[in-house]
Structure formats: structure tokens, C-alpha cells
Structure 1
């Protein structure tokens, strides 16, 4: 469970209606199977010990006694197993029958949770046999032991503090105020739902969204286990539709109409991090609840859970084409409407921006064009400036010229070589020494020019730098770091590429599409060092590391506050086929060094619109002191042991 991961399962046993002994054997077989796969939480369906479709047989003592006897067999069978099991059965208490979920761990019945909301509409008639459960905790006698009985039971793991389990049953989820709401506000981080939802046309879509959104709203893990083959088909068919959700994401689901086990890992650390971040999430202990402790043991909680769930190597970029296109359109609108408002407020009808033929300035220019179109302004009011110097190549220069032409914007070419050489003489710098001074003088000269041009044309200077560069501090302070409005300031580098690609995809201008495609194929570079044989000699990703790695690191550092070791572990899985662990660790160390040391640049960023869940603006998501120490993070990175090379 190291790093907050716990392996969980939802399973549907093959059953025979009213045959408790047979069903018990099937359940024990499943318990043994999941235990062999290191599963720590198992959810089985509603009333699976008897079958959900017993009808009037629920009024027979033989069935009820048989279910209770087999529950004892199952409880005893879990002795010595570090596995939390929830399954459904009918329970007779004080002459009343309840639809109950039993919580079992290590040879002990921890509690019985009754179902509150009993459907009596359409094909359902549960109130005919069962009574609604109550929140109040009472006592139930189970083979000489006293067991708590009631809805307000939460099961807390002493040695895995992130895990507190609450239970609701089937229809409880489908009502306006599910019990899981109060469970989570009382501290539950994982909701288990034994269910017997039957299949009708389209119901799976609603069920899937219901579970996904409940896990999102409650910031919890949600495990839903449904009845399947074996239930009576007199009037209904049950699809064994098992689902596991986590904070709005459906991690895994089973195919319908196939009884099987669905296994994945929940990241409980992510859930706790998200709740910690959301100050409007008021979860706290509730005196109306009974908290029942259990323990997996230090050896189990310290062990590393094998991760089989999908780890997206590009968390900022949707995987599906249609989702990605929709996201691109949305982000471009956010950028353009933010700039539109700034232009309306200032009354300016001119923008000035430096274009290099690179990705970032291309995206910025495309966004400015859209904002001008929204305002019905003449694109000639967009003053683009290319300022060739020592590192400019023909490829980027020609692309900058072609881009301005195809977008019908104003274009200026101002070579800065002479001005930079004069400045070198003024400050006594050797122009043959290609150091940080050599590079930054060029960047600041370009910024000085576009700032002065903004005065000349009464325009707004548009920043082109992206969020990945800002996170790494890969910007010249008061050079490309500075502008009057930074349209790309919360767009990560990996997403910049897709946004430019989206423009290339939707434009009807063939020539524009061609230049955008070539820009996409050009290596990322500030072009501050002289080219070699006419080709770019200064490739950013060779100096600071691959942006796909840095964006991955950035997402988990800022979005969830993960530790360096956990981020390294996830990155090693996500990029298994792309980078060695040694390479990932090298660039992760570089990320943390730069992220901490370069905060002073982010502390004085120009305005710019937030477009996603992560941003680095000091007025928004990242209020971080400029002189914070990275020592604790670097110390943890030094303790990471690399796997031996085979």
C-alpha cells in the first residue's frame, strides 16, 4: 500500500437461487482467488448469499437460517486473511427482515449495514419483504458475539489512515440524498455498494454516470458489485455490471452479462490530497457514527502494491481524438475571450507580439487573431515582429514570415544583431563567449523592442511563453518573461503542440496548414546560439529535459502534491517504453531544482487566463515563497533506488 495505492475488487459469483450452501462455496472460492491476487477490499453483490430474486422465500425460516449459518462459514474462512469483504444477505432482527451488507475482516463480522431505500416501483417490490434500515446503531447477536447493526457504520483502517470505508446498498445510490453523502462527510474515503440492479435498455449508461459522478462529488473511491448470471430470469435479467470509480474517473468496469472479477488499484493518496485542497469539503468525525477499527498490519501497509491501472503519460491531453478536439476548442476560446476582455477594457485596437516561427509564438498569434475576429477588429492591428539574430535559422524565419502572411496580420522585421553587439561593447562582454549573458541580452533586446513598439502603435504586448517554461524558469527575467498579457501562461508545452495541430486541422487555408505543420515538426529552441550548418544547434529538451516528462511531473506536483518518490514511480510506469529509470530520475531532480529556484520569476508574472486545473499564477493556484528550500524534496530523491539493469 506504499504511496497510497490499495488493490480492490468487485466480483459477481455464480449462484443458485435459495441455495445458500452452494452460494457460500462460490463466495469462498472468490475470496481465495482475490486473496491470491493481493486484493485488500472485495465487494460482492446484494443478497448474493441467497439470491436477490427469492421472492416469498425470504419469508421462510429455512432460507434465513441457512443464510446466517453460511455467513458464519464465510466469516471463519476469512480468518488469517488480510481482506475486507462486503456481501449481501437477508437478516432477521427483532422480528423484522432487513436487506443487509455484512462487513467481514480476518475472521470477524465487523458490522451489518441495512439498506434504507427499498424500491417498490416498476419491477421492484422489496418493501413486500424488507424493512428500511435506520441510521441509529443497535446491537445484533451473531453466534455469541455482539455485532453493531445500522447504516451509520464506518470502518477505519488503523495502519492505513487514508482508508475509511462506508457502505450503501443498490437503490441507496439512486435516491436524491444517498447515504454515501453523509458517510463521506463523516470521513469515509471509500464507498462500497453491493447491488442487484437489473438490466434494461440504456440503464448501463445511467448507472455508469451515476457512479462516476458520485465518486466525483464525494471525492471518494466507489466500488459497485452487481448481481449477474444465476439470479432468476422469471421476469428480469441481471448483467453483473461491476464498476470501480475514483474521483470522477471510471477506472475499470466489467463487460455486462459475464460473471467475473474486476480488479484495479485505488489511489487513496490522491483522494486525500484533493479533499485537502478543496476548502469547501467539510469532512470530519460525526458523533452519530460508530467508527470500527481494523488493521492490515504494518507488513501489508508498507508493501508495494502492484499497479495495473492505466497511468496516462500526458495528463494534460485527452487521449480520445473527439475529447481532445473539444478540449482544444474550449482552451482556445478561454484564451481568446480573456484577451478580448482585456482589449475591450483598455480600448486598445492593436496588439504587438514577437514571432519566432516556434510553437509558443504561433499559438499566441492564432489566439490573438481569434480575439480580433470576435471583436470585429482588422487583423492589420496585430503587429507581428520577427527579430533575427545569431541563432535564427532560415526555417524558423521563413515560417514566421509565411505565418504572418497567411493570417493577414501586419509584419515587421527588425534585425537585432547590431544592437546586441553594441550592447556587448557597452557592458564589456566578449561576443565570442556564448554564455548566459550572450543569450539573455538577445531576449531582453527583443522585449525592449516590442515594448517600445507598443508605445508607438498604442498596442498591448502579448506574451507567448507557456506554463511548462514558467514552471522550469526557462525564460529570461524581464525578457520573454515579461509582457502585458500572457495568453499561454497556463498552457503546458505538451498541450501547445495539440492546440497548434488543431488549428492546422480545422483551417481551410492549405498554405497556412502547411506552415503550421512545419512549425509542429521544428525542434523546440530559443535560437539564441548560432546554428550549425544552417540547423538549430540549441535544442531545449536536450538542456532541460523532455517536456513530456516535465509536464507529467508538473501535473502531479501541483494538482495532487505527490511526493517525489511517488511521482518517480508513476513516471517509471507511464514512460516504461520511452525512458530508463535513470533518465527519469535525472530529469525529475532537474525539475525540482529549477521549480524551487525559479519561483521568483513566477512571483511577478503578467496577467493571463487560467485554462485548466493546474496553473502557476501567483494570484491563482501557486502562492509560493520565492526563497523556499527544496532540501526535503531533494533528500527524498536521493533515497530513490533504481532497479538493477537486466
Structure 2
């Protein structure tokens, strides 16, 4: 039998961007036609964007999606395309994959299993479609099949699994499709990034092809689509368990496509679950690119590489999709703000490497000053602004650390002192309450006023530049509320809120000494990597250290994970803590750490409710809006340890 050309296309879409989403889809279809593709699989809900949230409940959204579908039809002569959209049927909304071939809508195949964990709340908007249910619906295009169908074209049987469908083990539709007989499964997907998760997706694609004894075409979303979630943009074509084509993850392009020519089993069968479609049998192009895995995917530092590339792409997309003119960071010289500044630098560096300097200028053509920028160095200085805001409690070490990093990455850097503001506010309150503030009696007050007074001036810089202010809190601090509300939590987006402090410190050392693919390094991090993390809000003579204020970060992170990922009780956490750290700390110390964690966790939920949106990068998150809900008022959990 002649070879059939399969393709998977990934798209960097934006929710409700009707014209933009449609243009990117049509461009990819045109590219597929040039490559003589027979079957093209595009991502889940790509017509609307996956992250439309409650806008899915609006009739307007599904009406616009249908209108977009109609506009795609004329572009699909001589090709079969699978793409996703919301579709209303019998009083319920379904997440469907539309099969289009030769300019006609062939069928709508709905998703059978809905994602309802982590960042996913699909049952809020959609209903699951029952397996084996098949019917028709009257539309402006005529009577269209909707349901659990197979599509037959040129003797090939094609089935569908939509994202979560493939994660259902023995319940995944691939098993039913294998019994009924298919040659290929198309899998339109919107599976968010988490460190290490792509391996699971790849395994699901491989096992899907083995289940049916045929080909599996997997296409995911790309980039920071709607704010919090990042998508890898991974695509796979697998045949009989062998991976034959794979995309490059975290691309800065609007789209990517992988193509492979495969021999598929032909079927001669008529059945009530089969819909016939016209699809031309095109000769394969012998020049298809061979499978070529990105070198960094084989790195022994894959976690560091993934984190760097995912957050860099997220920052890039957030900047251009919000139509902002740059980033502003209060660069303290410490680990968190240094990590975020470095990630902004990586975002532009990676984009320039992939898109070229001209391509970067085209992406930011909406910024008035871009056309006046001559050099890449000048662009870095305009797009990224950092500011060191010292007090009498700031050390020369952190000032030098901030300056060294700013010089290295080429940001426009400011250095000023806010002591005069601190003293004025202190004087106002002392006069009002009739006494002096002292470190012995007013420790938290005197620390917080410094952190809060850094916020107005850096916000002014962001406003002046029409830029995004980036908050600098990490997940470890969020878990125990070790952050000043309206201080270091100020910002439009919080890039590292989804990752722990221990990893940030490890990652900074890697970025200084090894770097992306062993090449793209930030040597200006040498100073910060020599410093002990400190808020520098108490007098320098006190030698303030974060881990002395709290507990060792590895212990904090361990308790956090056991309690809120593994769902262990406080008493179980203490037991596990003793088993793992009993040789290094006394039982009294471990009990104090555990009680302190749960006391601080419970009393600081209100802070987590107010944090700027953060990127999801790990396999769990503390974000109460999209992952982990906890009562703002509670009796706490620290007492449960000894009861």
C-alpha cells in the first residue's frame, strides 16, 4: 500500500483571539499541504484557545468557534484535518475534535474523559461523552455525525483520543478502538508543562500505537497560552511502538509541525460506527526531515534545562500577549530576584537564537521604541530594567551582587537608597503612638516597612516604562508566608512562585557554571551564589539568615510536599522527618520545625490568596485559585502533631 503522510502541528494560541488563532491554523494547514500531508492533527480546543475559563459558558464563545470552523473549511481541500472546539448539543457543552476533509465537516468526536485535577477544571464547563454513543445533529452544514465514531478514508480507519482520554489506563478509548479496528489514532491535546511530565506523554503515545498496532499522532499546545500554565509544544508520531518524529519543545515560533510517511493497515469493513470521508492519496515527499532529538533533551541536567526553557518562554509570551514594553525587577542581589532577572535574559537570548534579531523585532513591533533600536545590546537595556533599593541594613555584598548581574545581562540598572522614606514613616507612627519603635518590641513592623517602601518606586518604574513588574517570591516562602504583602509580593506576575527555594539556589549555580546545553551561561551570578540567603531587613549586626528565621529549606520543602502533595497528616510528617533527618537534628528541633511549618502555613493562607499569578512548573502548586485550596480561617494544624 502507498505510504500515508501524517503530521502533528503544535500552536501557540491565545484564548478568544479569533482572527489570530484562525490565521495560525490556516498557515499550518497550508504548510501541511505543501508537505503533501494526508492527515494533520492539531491541538485540543485550538479554535478558541484551551484556557478560555468561564468564557466557555458563554453562547457567544461557541458561536464564534463554529464561525471559525466554517472559515477553516475552504482551506482543507486535499487534506484531512483534526482540530478542537467547544460544541453545544442537547443542553450540554462538549469538548470535540472536528474531522474536516476535502472542505467538508465529516464528524464531531467528543472527549470522553475530562481533566479535573491540578490546573484543570474541565467538568466546570464540559460534559463527558459516553463511550459507544453515536448520533447526528442538524447544523448549517447539514446533518453531521457526532459521537464515538471511526473515520474511514482510502481504506484507513482513524480514531481519536483527546488529551485526558489517553491518561485513563484500561478505560482509554484506544482499547475500544483497537477491538473495533483502527490504523491510526489522532490525539489533539492541551497538556500543561510540569517538570518531567513530557516523558509520560511520550510513553502514552508509544503505548497507544502499540495498543492498536498502528500509528499514533500526538499534538500539544505551545507556550504560555493564558497566563498561569505553560505548554511544552511537544508532538510525536509513533508507529508500532517506535517514535519516528518528534518536535522541539519550548519553541518561540507561532507553530511547529512534524511529518512522517508511514504504511498503515487497510480495512475493508462497513459498520454503524464508521463514517466515510474523501481524502486524496498523495505521494509522499522523500525529503521529510528525519527524527532528530534536541541535544538538551539528553542532558544530565534535564530538570534545570526544562525549568529554564519553560519559564523563559512563559515570560516571553506573557510580555508580548499583554502588549507590555518590558520587565522591571527589584533586584536585591539575592537568589530569587537574580533568578528572575536571569530568566528574562534567557527569554530574549533564546528568542534571538531561534527567531533572529529581526524576528524578535517583528514580535515586538507594537512597542513604539523598537524601530529605533539599532543593536541587540540596546534592546536588552530597553526591555529589562532592574533596581537595587538599599537601606542601612543592606550589605555591600548584595549591592555588588546586583550590579555584577545587571552588568552581565545588560539591563538598565538603578541603585538608590530608601532610608529617608523609612525614617519618615517611622517618625509618623512614633509620633502617633507616643513612643519609639524598637527592634526588641517591633521587629516585624520595622522589617516590613522597608520591604513595603521598595514597592511604590519600582511600580513607578514599571508605569513609566509601560512594563510588567515581576514579583520575586518563591513557593517555599509562600508556604510559610515569609514574604511582605505589598512588598516583595508586588507584581503583575510571579515567575518562580511554583518552585522551591532549594531548587532555585541549585539552578543558579548550574546556570553560572554549566548553562543551557553547556553553552548559554550567566557568569554574573558568581556573587549571588556565594551569599547565604538573607532578607537583610534587620541591622547588619544581627547577621540575619533566612534559614535561621524559618528552618533549613530542604526540611521546609519536604514537609510541604508530604503534607500537600502526598496528603500526609502532621503527625505522619513528623515521623517521616525523624526518619530522614534524625541523624542531623534532635527530636526537639524536628518537632519545632514541624510545628512552626504548620502554624505558619495555616495563618498565612490569606497571603497566598493575594499573590500575583504564578507559573505552574512543578508537579504541584500552592496556588489557591488553580491548585490547592485551604481555608483562610482555621484552627491550624500544628496542634495535630502531638495530639
Interval of TM-score (by shorter of Structure 1 and Structure 2): 0.3 to 0.5
TM-score by length of 2: 0.47
Q: Which has the larger radius of gyration?
A: 1
Q: Could you say which structure has the greater relative contact order, defined with CA pairs below 8 angstroms and 6 or more residues apart?
A: 2
